[in-house]
Amino acid sequence: MTTRLAVLYGGQSGEHEVSCRSAASILAHLDREQYQVTEVLIDRDGGWHVDGQPTPLPAALRVLRAQDVVFPALHGPYGEDGTVSSLLEWLGVPYVGNGVFASAAGMDKGVTKRLLAAEGLRVSPGVTLRPGEDLSPDDQRRLELPVFVKPARAGSSLGVVKVDDWAGVPAAVEQARQVDPKVLIEQGARGREIDVAVLQHPDGRVQAGPPLEIRVTGAGFFDYDAKYDGGAIFQIPAPLDEATTEVLQDRAIRAFQALDCRGLLRVDFFLPTEGSPEPIVNEVNTFPGFTAASQFPQIWQQAGIGFAALIDILISGALADQDHSHHSGLPRQARAVDLV
């Protein structure tokens, strides 16, 4: 018996193209004997297309509602931020990945930092500037250069500027506000860049994969261009001792639990090369890049879970989650802790 599956991708965010690439990889690796696949594209203007045909929104929603499960391969605002999760909850259709709260909290870097810090995880000092606010002298004294100025609610390092001189902050804030009016100024962390992928299996077991180390070629940092134009080298597993690996994996799972995640998460760390060895959580991704070249699938490939098997695990988890809700009588969001 085939499973009716819709892959939902595109969207109106600045990561439309990345989403299309993620979806193309997912579609290429789906077993068509196991899944009856429908492609649902949201174009840059917000128009909906089902299997390549322009489709009015009510009809597109009926298509989604008729599925056994939806795989939202969306990145950034209007996709990864809880908006589509809430739509699918409202439609009552099972879907792969994180629910409304985890998606919304994970998209806002300032909120993420507060939740992780409350869990006892280490984060870099920073300040959130809302529209109209500027960096105060007190905050400037508290932070050390360099700082990174980031849009609070955007992915793929869009609009992120590294600032080495306080005089450069206003222009960097203005640039970040082109992406999001809410801006995070964060003290730059010195250390090795390590990513850890977290995967929830259909039986509820949560597993952290082998750490991945990012080495950026050239003098830059891991920005949008480095991510997608080959300016970085991934080393999996990262050359770390066993104890450090275990600490990173433990902190990644704690971040997954602190944000009430479901299905998957990628946690990006800085591993300090001096001072306290406790890893610093830099960012989280509630739906990380899903091309064959992306960190998340590569990490699980190294762990012995190929791309097709990874997709199957996530889809089976979404269906198992739905089955559990019928037996528990609880809404999907209320059950996330049960499965951890």
Q: Give the SS3 label for residue 110.
A: helix
Question: pLDDT band for position 333 (50/70/90)?
Answer: very low
Judge whether residue 227 has pLDDT over 70.
Answer: no
The answer to whether the beta carbons of residues 287 and 73 sit under 8 Å apart is yes
> Domain check: are 14 and 83 in the same one?
yes
Q: What is the mean pLDDT of residues 243-248?
A: 98
274 has binding-site annotation:
no
Kind of pairing between the strands at 191-200 and 264-272: antiparallel
Amino acid at 61: L
307 pLDDT more than 70: yes
> Do 70 and 143 have their domain in common?
no
Does residue 246 sit in the same domain as residue 218?
yes
Question: Could you tell me the CATH number of the domain that includes residue 30?
Answer: 3.40.50.20
In a domain, 204, yes or no: yes
The single residue of 17, 136, 294, 316 carrying the catalytic annotation is: 294
- Catalytic residue of the set 13, 15, 19, 22: 15
Beta sheet of 3-10, edge-to-edge order? 53-55, 48-50, 35-42, 3-10, 69-73
* Any domain includes 30: yes
The answer to whether residue 17 is catalytic is: no
Please check whether residues 59 and 139 belong to one and the same domain: no
Final residue belonging to a domain, choices 168, 187, 206: 187
My answer on whether 53 and 173 are in the same domain is: no
> Active-site residue 124, yes or no?
no
| 124 annotated binding-site participant | no
Enumerate residues 6+ apart whose C-beta is below 8 A from 172: 149, 161, 163
To the question of whether residue 25 is assigned a binding role by annotation, the answer is: no
220 and 252 share one domain: yes
Q: 203 and 314: one domain?
A: yes
The answer, yes or no, to whether residue 54 has pLDDT greater than 80, is: yes
Mean pLDDT of the chain: 90
269-281 confidence digits (pLDDT tens): 999 988 889 999 9
Category of 331 on φ-ψ map: left (φ > 0), alpha (ψ -120 to 50) or beta: beta
pTM, 2 dp: 0.90
Question: Above 60 in pLDDT, residue 230?
Answer: no
Out of 25, 85, 103, 156, the active site residue is 156
Work out how many domains the chain is built from and give that number: 3
Q: Is 157 annotated as a binding residue?
A: yes
Q: 80 among the known binding-site residues?
A: no
Checking if the pLDDT of 112 tops 60, the result is yes
Please indicate, yes or no, if residue 219 is contained in any of the structural domains: yes
Residue 150 labeled ligand binder: yes
Same domain, yes or no: 232 and 137: no
Secondary structure in 3-state letters for 197-220: EEEECCCCCEEECCCEEEEECCCC
DSSP label at 95?
A: B
pLDDT score of 245 more than 50: yes
User: 156 catalytic, yes or no?
Assistant: yes
Domain of residue 235, CATH code: 3.30.470.20
Q: How large is the average pLDDT for residues 315-331?
A: 67
Q: Quick one: which H or E segment has residue 83?
A: helix 83-91
The average pLDDT across 178-191 equals 93
Element (H, E) at 158: none
Does pLDDT of 170 surpass 70? yes
Q: Is 311 inside a domain boundary?
A: yes
pLDDT in the model for residue 323: 60
Domain extent at residue 91: 3-104
Q: Do residues 43 and 89 share a domain? A: yes
User: Three-state DSSP class for 51?
Assistant: coil
Whether residue 98 is annotated as binding a ligand: the answer is: no
Helix runs in 178-306, H state only: 224-228, 242-258, 295-302
Q: Which tokens hold the place of 145?
A: 């250069």
* Parallel/antiparallel/unpaired status of strands 48-50 and 53-55: antiparallel
